[in-house]
Amino acid sequence: MDEIFDVIVIGGGQSALACGYYLRRAKLNYLILDKQYGPGGAWLHTWDSLTLFSPAEYSSLPGWAMPKSEHKFPLRHEVIDYLRLYELHYQLNVRRGIEVSTIIKEENIFTVHSKNGNFNAKTVISATGTWGHPLIPDLEGRKNFQGIQIHSQIYKNPEDFTGMKTLVIGEGNSGAQIVAELSKVTNVKWSTKHEPRFLPENVDGYYLFNVASAKYKAEKEGKPFDASKYNLGNIVLVPPVKEARDRGALISEGIFHKLYDKGVIWDHGEKEEFDALIWCTGFGYDTSFLKSIIQVDEKGITETRDSKSLEVEGLWLVGYGNWTGYASATLIGLNRTAKQTIIEIEEFLTKNK
């Protein structure tokens, strides 16, 4: 394909759509490449009961508000519908079923390679998120475990584990939510490094966005950030989690560092058998396709100033969380990062005409 775009965005989820909004407004010639076959990004693959952590009025992409939900926190299918309609509303230039394998740069032009052909651009935005890079710690004996063993990336619903004695590993929101719903259908235990810390009921994703903004402002001004002013627990009390906590289902059993063929060996020495393990141990960054042009560490991180690559001119990375812009992995926090990125790209293209 001989056309040279001003910008190619890699990824088709919320980060890519926010960038598309500002690229369209800037009247730049752009193309969004999405490996999925339908709109929705990572939300297409999450478990069935996942919700946002913020009310709809605090969860909108730039330009078009998310419709109100009858639920406090919009449901998974409502978020997917919103992303689909947002893309249609702005007629964003998205090409689907394109999985990028690698990128090269020659004579100031990027060539984006895929099985479906190559695409050329003056600049590139990586907006692939984290879902494609699940992390599981390589603990002693993990490969010897004979039961079911999955990451939360592919967990779908509790019915798949009915009747199985299950261990959920990980102290964040995903661990708490999965334990909450599994506890209604089967025998489940929860392993966490630290005692779970629940946020107050009135604290949601919008509050956390404001905390991140305060931290961002303090760092920009060279001032210390006083975290003591904020209640910084790490688990949001979405309704199912609150219900499970209130009935005593969210109690940590502690930690283990070894496994055997039938289960785990707790740090206090006791062995315990399990039929299934669900690792809610987080994600790295889905940036392996960039390794041909930049240094990327084992978590997928590369050097940036905000979203701009410090290694390669013409490359930006958007929506990867605090690494590329405070709260940029959230719907509400993404707007600031996407807007600033497109301003920088406009300036870059003007300078390099």
> 99 with 128, same domain?
yes
DSSP secondary structure, 59-77, as one string: -PBTTBPPPP-SSSS-BHH
Q: Please determine, for residue 307, whether its predicted confidence score (pLDDT) is greater than 70.
A: yes
- pLDDT of amino acid 333: 76
The last residue of a domain, from among 279, 307, 334: 279
- pLDDT of amino acid 228: 55
The confidence band for 296, taking pLDDT boundaries of 50, 70 and 90, is very high
Kindly state the average pLDDT of the residues 229-255: 84
> 82 with 45, same domain?
yes
Q: Which residue's entry shows tokens 């949001």?
A: 236
Find, among 129, 10, 12, the residue nearest to 80 by Cα. 12
- pLDDT of amino acid 37: 93
Q: Please determine, for residue 295, whether its predicted confidence score (pLDDT) is greater than 90.
A: yes
Find, among 305, 276, 10, 303, the residue nearest to 128 by Cα. 10
> 159 with 288, same domain?
no
Q: What is the pTM of this model?
A: 0.90
- pLDDT of amino acid 257: 95
Burial letters 303-331, b for 16+ CB under 10 A, else e: ebebbbbeebebbbbbbbbebbbbbbbbb
Greater confidence, 246 or 214? 246
Angle of the 14-25 helix axis to the 331-351 helix axis, nearest 10: 40
- Per-residue pLDDT tens digits for 70-120: 998 899 999 999 999 999 999 999 999 999 999 999 999 999 999 999 999
> 297 with 346, same domain?
yes
> 193 with 78, same domain?
no
> 45 with 155, same domain?
no
> 67 with 163, same domain?
no
> 126 with 167, same domain?
no
Count of domains in the chain? 2
Q: Tell me how far apart the terminal alpha carbons of the chain are, to the nearest angstrom.
A: 21
> 191 with 66, same domain?
no
Q: What is the CATH number of the domain that holds 150?
A: 3.50.50.60
In a domain, 25, yes or no: yes
The last residue of a domain, from among 244, 263, 279: 279
Q: Please determine, for residue 338, whether its predicted confidence score (pLDDT) is greater than 90.
A: yes
- pLDDT of amino acid 57: 83
Domain that holds residue 261: 142-198+233-279
Q: Please determine, for residue 168, whether its predicted confidence score (pLDDT) is greater than 70.
A: yes
Q: Please determine, for residue 15, whether its predicted confidence score (pLDDT) is greater than 60.
A: yes
In a domain, 214, yes or no: no
In a domain, 205, yes or no: no
- pLDDT of amino acid 1: 53
- pLDDT of amino acid 59: 84
In a domain, 243, yes or no: yes
What percentage of the chain reaches a pLDDT higher than 70?
A: 91
> 122 with 32, same domain?
yes
In a domain, 115, yes or no: yes
In a domain, 65, yes or no: yes
> 272 with 302, same domain?
no
Q: Annotate 4-38 with three-state secondary structure.
A: EEEEEEECCCHHHHHHHHHHHHCCCCEEEEECCCC
Among 16-20, 245-249, 269-273, 328-332, the range scoring the smallest mean pLDDT is: 328-332
In a domain, 227, yes or no: no
The last residue of a domain, from among 223, 254, 279: 279
> 257 with 299, same domain?
no
In a domain, 111, yes or no: yes
- pLDDT of amino acid 237: 84
- pLDDT of amino acid 153: 96
Record the tokens describing residue 120, joined without a space: 């050329």
What DSSP designation does 317 have? E
